[in-house]
Amino acid sequence: MPKRPSDYPAGQRATASRMPAPASGRPLPDQPTPLLGGLTPTQFMRRYWQKKPFLVRQAVPGIASPVTREELFELAAGDDVESRLVTHFRGRWQLDHGPFDTTALPRVTQRAWTLLVQGVNLHDDRARALLDRFRFAPDARLDDLMISYATDGGGVGPHFDSYDVFLLQVHGKRHWRIGAQRDLSLRDDLPLKILAHFEPEEEWVLEPGDMLYLPPHIAHDGIAIGECMTCSIGFRAPSASELTSQFLYYLAERGNAHRGDDTLYRDPKQPPVSEPARLPTGLVERVGAILANIRWKQSDVSAFLGAWLSEPKSNVVFEPPARPANEAAFVNRATRAGVRLHRKTVLLYDNHSYFLNGEQNSLPSGKSWLIDLANSRTLSAKRFVTLSHDSSVTALLHEWYCAGWVELGGLA
C-alpha cells in the first residue's frame, strides 16, 4: 500500500477553505495543495492547464507505486490489460504489444527497456485512489492511469502526446527533457513515434514524489536513472475529426440524423448511361442534399458526449458478484457499509440525464443522491440509511450492484 501522505501540511490548514476535503483526497478548487506545488486547483487551471509545463517537487511526498514491480508484470500478463514493451538494445528501438508472460520480459538486470501498462486504475483500487486526487479536472477529460517500469537507460524516446498528462515519479529517478518545439515530425523508420528532431529546452531529474505536468504536444523524453517507475495520469483531448466522426456515427446509429425522414435514395430520372463506371452527377448532388439536411440539437451533443465519454474501453469487462445478495440483503449490508462505484465505472451527468458506463438515462426525481454518488464515487452508510426508505433508489442501486457497476463498502 502506498503511504497516505497528508495533502495539507500544518501551515496550510488554517488558510484552506472551510469545506471539508472530499474523502477521496480530491483537492477542492480553492484549497492550496502540495499536489500542485501549493497552488489551488483554480490557480493551476488558470495558469498552467493546457498552457504550459509545470514541475512540482514533492507533489506527493512519500509516495510509493500503487502496484509493485511484480504486480505490474502480473497485470501485463493479463489479456484484458493493454501493455507495451519498448526496448532500446544496442541502439535499436523495438515495440511489442502485450500480453506478456512474465518469462517473456527481459531480465530486470538488463538495461534500456520499458514496460508500459495502461488503465491500471481499472484493475487496482490503490491506482484508482491515486487518480481521484486529480478529479479537480472533469471526469469527462480523464483517460487513465498508465504505469511504466524501466530499467537503467530505459525510455520510450523523444515524442509528444495528444494528451494532458501528469507524470508522477513513484519509484527511482528519471531524467526528463522537454521542449515546446513546432516541428513535431516523426521518424518514419521506427515502429514507435519518435521525433525526428528533438530540441529540448529544459531538463530535470525527478525523484519519487516529484511530478511534471505537460499539456498536449510538448515534446518530451524521460530516461530512467537506475530502475524506476512513473505514473502517467492522462487526460484525453480528442481531435475535431475524431469528435466529428464519432458524433455522426452516434446520430446515424440512433436514426437521429434525419429526425424520422429516412427515405430511400431515389433516382426516377436516371437516364441510361454509356459510361456505366462513371459516378452519376445526380447521385452526388442528391447525397449532398441528404447530408446537408443532417440536423441536431444541443441535447444530441450532450447525450453523445455523455454516452461516448462514459463508454468503457473495449477491453473492460465488469464482473458481477458471483453470488449476488438479493435486494433486501443488499440494502441491509449497504446500511452498514455504504456503497461505492466500482473502479471501472464511469458515471457522468448533465442537467437532464446521467450516463453510466455508456448508457443514458433521465435523472430521477430526488436526484441529489445520484449526483453525490457521481461526484464522490461513494455513498456513506449513513446516507444510504436515509435513502433506503425510497424503494426506487434501492432497486436501482441493487440493479447496478448485480451488474458489477457498484459495490458494497463506501464510507461509514
- Strands (E) in 12-103, as ranges, are 54-56, 83-89, 92-97
Return the H-helix or E-strand segment holding 233.
Answer: strand 219-236
Partner residues linked to 227 by β-bridges: none
- Min separation Cβ 156 and Co ion, Å: 7
Contact between 227 and Co ion per CB under 5 A: no
> Which of Co ion, ligand SIN, none sits in contact with 347, Cβ below 5 to 8 A by type?
none
14 by Cβ neighbours in 10 Å (0-12 / 13-18 / 19+) ranks as: exposed
Tell me how far, at minimum, the Cβ of 232 lies from Co ion, in Å.
7
Three-class SS state of 134: coil
List 65, 230, 345, 380, residue binding ligand SIN (CB under 6 A)? 230
CB of 223 to ligand SIN, least distance (A): 9
User: 96 touches which of Co ion, ligand SIN, none (CB within 5 to 8 A by kind)?
Assistant: none
Here's the x/- map for ligand SIN, 126-155, by CB under 6 A: it reads as ----------------------x-x----x
Q: Do the Cβ atoms of 176 and 166 come closer than 8 Å? A: no
Q: Could you check whether the bond before residue 99 is cis, i.e. omega within 30 degrees of 0?
A: yes
Residue at grid coordinates 453470488: 323
CB closer to ligand SIN out of 53 and 155: 155
- Shortest gap between Cβ of 84 and ligand SIN (angstroms)? 10
Q: Least distance to ligand SIN from the beta carbon of 180, Å?
A: 15
Compute the least distance from the CB of residue 236 to ligand SIN, in Å: 13
Tell me the sheet residues that pair with 96.
85
Q: Which is nearer to ligand SIN, 39 or 156 (CB)?
A: 156
Question: How far is the C-alpha of 193 from the C-alpha of 185, rounded, in Å?
Answer: 9
Minimum CB distance to ligand SIN smaller for 114 or for 378 = 114
E-strand ranges in 237-366 read 339-341, 347-349, 353-356, 359-362
Q: Which residue type is seen at 196?
A: A
Residue type, 377: R
Q: With binding defined as CB under 6 A, does residue 171 bind ligand SIN?
A: no
Closest by Cα among 59, 73, 56 to 148: 73
96 part of the interface to ligand SIN, by CB under 6 A? no
How many whole angstroms separate alpha carbon 164 and alpha carbon 411? 31
Give the count of beta carbons closer than 10 Å to the beta carbon of residue 39: 19
Q: Is 161 in the site for Co ion (CB under 5 A)?
A: yes
Binding mask 182-221 for ligand SIN (x = CB under 6 A): --------------------------------------x-
Question: Cell for 163?
Answer: 494528451
Binding site for Co ion (CB under 5 A): 161
Binding site for ligand SIN (CB under 6 A): 114, 148, 150, 155-156, 161, 165, 220, 222, 230, 232
